[in-house]
Structure 1
Amino acid sequence: MAHRKVVAGLSGFLIALAAVLGLGVDVMSKPLVAAENSTARADLIMIDTIAQQRELEMPASQFMHDKHTAALKEQDKDCSTCHKTTTNEEGKKVMSLKFMREEDGSADELKKIYHDGCISCHAKDKADGAEKYGPQSGECRSCHVDKPEYTAEREDVEMDNALHYIHWGSKQISKDAGEETNCGSCHHQWDEQTQKLVYKKFEEESCSYCHTEAPKEPVKTPERLAFHEQCVVCHQTLAENKAENYGPVECAGCHSEKAQEELKQSKEEMLQKLGGVLPRLPRQQPDAVLMTPPVAEDATMQEKEKVEEHAMPVAFNHKFHEQNTDSCAACHHKSVQSCDTCHTPRGDADGEFVSLAQSMHQADSMRSCVGCHQQEQKKPECAGCHAAMEKKAQPAADSCATCHEPLQSAGEGMGMMQMNQDDMSSMMNASESVTTPLPEDKDAREALAKRLIERRPDTPRNIDINDVPETVTIGVLSDEYKPSEMPHRKIVKKLMEDMDNDKLAAAFHTTELTMCQGCHHNSPASVKPPRCESCHGKPFMEQQPGRPGLKAAFHAQCMDCHKQMQLEKPVSTNCTACHEKKD
């Protein structure tokens, strides 16, 4: 998973603490204080709240949060030294993340709170004979500096499936009333009737669905503050209650590179103990979904029949994708509702004018099916062939049958693996496709989707290894070097092994010769394809400027494949590794 480094100052809130939890399942909290000798710190907060009301008289003050919490701990003090108790949106008494206040006041009031609160504490430390103490009254430039020495550098934190399980599988978090789950400890929604935040089982949403950067009523808390209020306060409460495990309460505990590496290692160890598969989220999500174009609720029977006539449903294996993505947000990037909730057939503002078809097929988007599949092709075991293939904005028309299966009246679903080219062409012409009515009942649709999924192959269709030549002698350009002896069967066998359990390869490698097309890219699929020199001239042919000469074609094909597959040997500069030099 990718974690981007964010360099930013948080406006006024002393809250650059953890935005993600880490409790239970042997993932222990360890205080991680930002390195003293580093100018890039995860705990740096710019105190510039007053700037929201008026122009600052002096540069914003830099505040090292973890440095201060460590100092307080040495004095047997806790967070209450700087943070008051307040009542949150759920009516619970919790720690306020604002410094020495529950709500912001005027600019003058804020100035007084910070100066009185900070300087009085520093003065007391000095008076008590402390070895280290902060700036005193009158030492303004000790805090307000034009060119700060430090910069804020924080690792983003993602609530992926593993970290999510650490929470919903934790025994430290209180269970919901009358339930065996604890989802209500984090998830809530606004109830218009009672005008309160409530928890509704099986309707849990992503936090950022409601808590956006600029939330709309009745939501009041922006995304960043919501994460910190929910996570940090929970961690702190567990710590105060002497819980066996609790999440980080220091900024560096989540947002430092070291913390991220430790968390990654902890999740890998946890996953290994679980046999490599996480327990499934208890949210009543379907195993399979029969995806079809949406039909308006007020549509006439004739309109519904027209949609069914042209519909080629996709049996989507939801359970498999849950296990093979980092988080639900890989697909449900805004809400965990169905895609057509936001993405309409024509596209509108709620879906950022991305139509339903585009949301599934947009090749340059990781949120779409096609885009995600193309990203998988970048893995070393796939990239050797796929990196050299032409990338198109939309998939080829004859690949539609891989996912879209017409429900033939003769037998429910022919299945793409049983189709020949004529079947595919006929299917693409909706007027010629005879379909059976689609079930409307939710359970019946899921059952049909499961049956279609079960008919799909588990492994790719590959050529019989005995039909592959043991070696291929490439000597057509032999001059300074001896002919190259390519271990053809060994290479093909290795490629087969790498894709043996690959579901994408099983689905999209639709013939025994599909894999062969990786090298024999522009020739007809055949057990005995034409030689490379049939297309690539020696030397380069000026009348074919887009086609490399034979020598360039050989070297580009082989060396680029080795590079994409991250093979250490043979290196591109070692000519004699492939063809010995003549005496």
Structure 2
Amino acid sequence: MANGKKLLRLSGILIVLAGVLGFHMEALSMVGTPQGEGNKRPDLIMIDTIAAQEKLELPAVVFLHDTHTKAVAEQGKDCTACHQKDKDAMSYKFNRLEDGKPEQLKEIYHNGCISCHAADAKAGKKTGPQVGECRSCHVADPELTADRASAGMENILHYRHWDSKLIAKDAGQDTNCGACHHQYNKLSNKLEYVKGQEENCGVCHTATPEGDVKLTTTEAYHGQCVSCHLEMKAAKAEKTGPVDCAGCHGEMKVEDIKEDNAAVLKKLGGDLPRLPRNQPDAVLLTAPVDEKTAVKATMASVAFNHKAHENYTDSCSSCHHETMNKSCSSCHTVRGSKEGDFVTLDQAMHKADSTRTCVGCHAVKQKDPNCAGCHELMPKNVIQSEETCVACHNGPTSTSSQPVKMEASAKADIAKALIMKRPTSPQLIAESDIPEFVTINVIENEYKASKLPHRKIIMSMIDKMKDDSMANTFHSTPLTVCGSCHHNSPASKTPPSCASCHGSTSKTQDGRPALKAAYHGQCMTCHDAMNLEKPASTDCTACHAKK
């Protein structure tokens, strides 16, 4: 009998921990997003922490965090029912502060989970699996799956935190940044706030922390955010943040947060106040001056409007993806370095298929219906003309023998001056020089000639650019806008006709579509990209009246 009980107890221990190893925050990385009435949940955690030490004997445990949180709350308990506290904060590991050996972890989970279930069952309450019901937790092919929504700290949500009157201000400061941002002081062995050196949490807290950093990214975020939200809730604050998984990672709740963010932004008039971090208004981007990475060819510096871009991006990490306290060229050198994943400086700024580069981010903007009509058909990742480069690279030139060396304040002054010189409206030739109509009679044997309102189209496009500073900057020559349709001909007030390059035959020649295909491809693609309802791209008679 004693041996039987021992075997039963051992089987119970092996059950829950093969997977039940952790209210560990790494498990929370698998939290999912509810999808209608489906089986995807935002609070689903696969408890498999023990797998980091040894092979699991049973499948990982499917644990529903929000379901258990609700059950604990109904019993008048809080997070400490499952999580311990040290002198600084609550541990997000289950019933422990630090991980132990596999056998210790199995004991912690099985004793903690099964004893709670047994107590509830004894009290006549609905509860979870009991001793011996191993496969109720360790399910090889669970019906429920996790699918979580991202819970990023975009600019507007960040503003709602640093503008909050509920978060205590830093000692002697008008800001409350120290409530979240800190650095480790090796001399005092303490975390401390350093004004002006605030970083994204992920800079130090990575998936595999190194050195003095103890918490993973997920542990740090949840430990910081959830703990603060719980304190606010306990203090009965009028407005506080989510304390359950679905509150941040559930699709519907994420939409609620977005609505709140939009309401705050609308109240502010559409523009957020600048972060109180003493960031520059303008920066002169120059080539690296280190001898090992010096530029061999001439490269003119770039005036970067930092102040304007703060409102164009979702967060600082959109550009500063590693750290905000180093320049781009510190990691992304001319030749590439290990620190920058061997992404060169040129690639970091110009790679068209990355939203973290200047060109890639601008390419996303070009998908706006006001822009897409022209840009949809233009070749991607191809320099259109010398003017394209000069729109940005128009500052002092840096070479390998004479790199740009000057004080930061002098660079900032040059950058500001260059930005002030940028056009505030799109450049265009005189309106009278733009033909009012262009007659297209390619298929006049079937339809009447199409009378294209050429000038009206051009002026409509120019009107859409007026308040767009990026469009004004890059449409910097009077003939730039003409290049969208007259794409492979010299810039001229009187460009050659389409038939000069596109033959009248029905076959493609040298990669060029025939004339009829060229017209339809250009016009119909433009109408679709700009979401034009009239004339619809499929309405032939709107352009070609029947004979």
Same fold flag (TM > 0.5):
yes
Q: What SS is found at the alignment partner of 2:300?
A: coil
- Distance in 2 (CA, whole Å) between partners of 1:34 and 1:446 is 48
Displacement after TM superposition at 1:34 (Å): 5.8
In the alignment, which residue of structure 2 is the partner of 1:290?
284
User: Is residue 48 of structure 1 aligned with residue 48 of structure 2?
Assistant: yes
Displacement after TM superposition at 1:457 (Å): 0.9
- Distance in 2 (CA, whole Å) between partners of 1:344 and 1:389 is 30
- Equivalent residues in 2 for 1:46-445 (5 A)? 46-87=46-87, 92=88, 94-130=89-125, 132-296=126-290, 310=298, 312-336=300-324, 337-392=326-381, 396-407=385-396, 440-445=406-411
- Equivalent residues in 2 for 1:458-473 (5 A)? 458-473=424-439
One-letter amino acid of the structure 1 residue matched with residue 258 of structure 2: K
2:288 touches 2:329 (CA, 8 Å); kept in 1?
yes
- Distance in 2 (CA, whole Å) between partners of 1:40 and 1:312 is 52
- Distance in 2 (CA, whole Å) between partners of 1:153 and 1:529 is 54
In the alignment, which residue of structure 2 is the partner of 1:507?
473
Shift in CA distance, 211/395, structure 1 to aligned 2, threshold 3 Å: farther
2:351 touches 2:381 (CA, 8 Å); kept in 1?
no
User: Is residue 453 of structure 1 aligned with residue 447 of structure 2?
Assistant: no
- Find runs of 4+ consecutive structure 1 residues off by over 6 angstroms: 16-19, 306-309
In the alignment, which residue of structure 2 is the partner of 1:553?
518
1:390-422 CA-to-partner distances (Å, cap 9, x unmatched) read 223667544322112255xxxxxxxxxxxxxxx
2:20 touches 2:60 (CA, 8 Å); kept in 1?
no
Structure 2: runs of 5 or more not aligned: 1-18
Structure 1: runs of 5 or more not aligned: 1-8, 20-31, 408-426
Shift in CA distance, 278/404, structure 1 to aligned 2, threshold 3 Å: same
CA RMSD of aligned residues (A): 3.0
- Distance in 2 (CA, whole Å) between partners of 1:394 and 1:362 is 12
Displacement after TM superposition at 1:511 (Å): 1.5
2:27 touches 2:46 (CA, 8 Å); kept in 1?
no
- Bigger relative contact order, structure 1 or 2 (CA pairs below 8 A, ≥6 apart): 1
Shift in CA distance, 399/310, structure 1 to aligned 2, threshold 3 Å: same
- Distance in 1 (CA, whole Å) between partners of 2:267 and 2:243 is 27
1:40-88 CA-to-partner distances (Å, cap 9, x unmatched) read 111001122232333333222211111111222223222122112123x
2:53 touches 2:102 (CA, 8 Å); kept in 1?
yes
The more displaced of 118-127 and 222-231 is: 118-127
Q: What SS is found at the alignment partner of 2:488?
A: coil
Shift in CA distance, 438/56, structure 1 to aligned 2, threshold 3 Å: closer
One-letter amino acid of the structure 1 residue matched with residue 288 of structure 2: P
Q: How many residues align?
A: 526
Q: TM-score, normalised by structure 2?
A: 0.89
The more displaced of 475-484 and 461-470 is: 461-470
Displacement after TM superposition at 1:281 (Å): 0.5
Q: What SS is found at the alignment partner of 1:95?
A: coil
Alignment equivalent of 1:571, drawn from 515, 536, 545: 536
1:362 touches 1:371 (CA, 8 Å); kept in 2?
yes
1:286-340 CA-to-partner distances (Å, cap 9, x unmatched) read 10112222334xx7xxx9xx98995622111110111211111121111112112
Q: TM-score, normalised by structure 1?
A: 0.83
2:366 touches 2:375 (CA, 8 Å); kept in 1?
yes
Q: What SS is found at the alignment partner of 2:409?
A: helix
Shift in CA distance, 149/495, structure 1 to aligned 2, threshold 3 Å: same
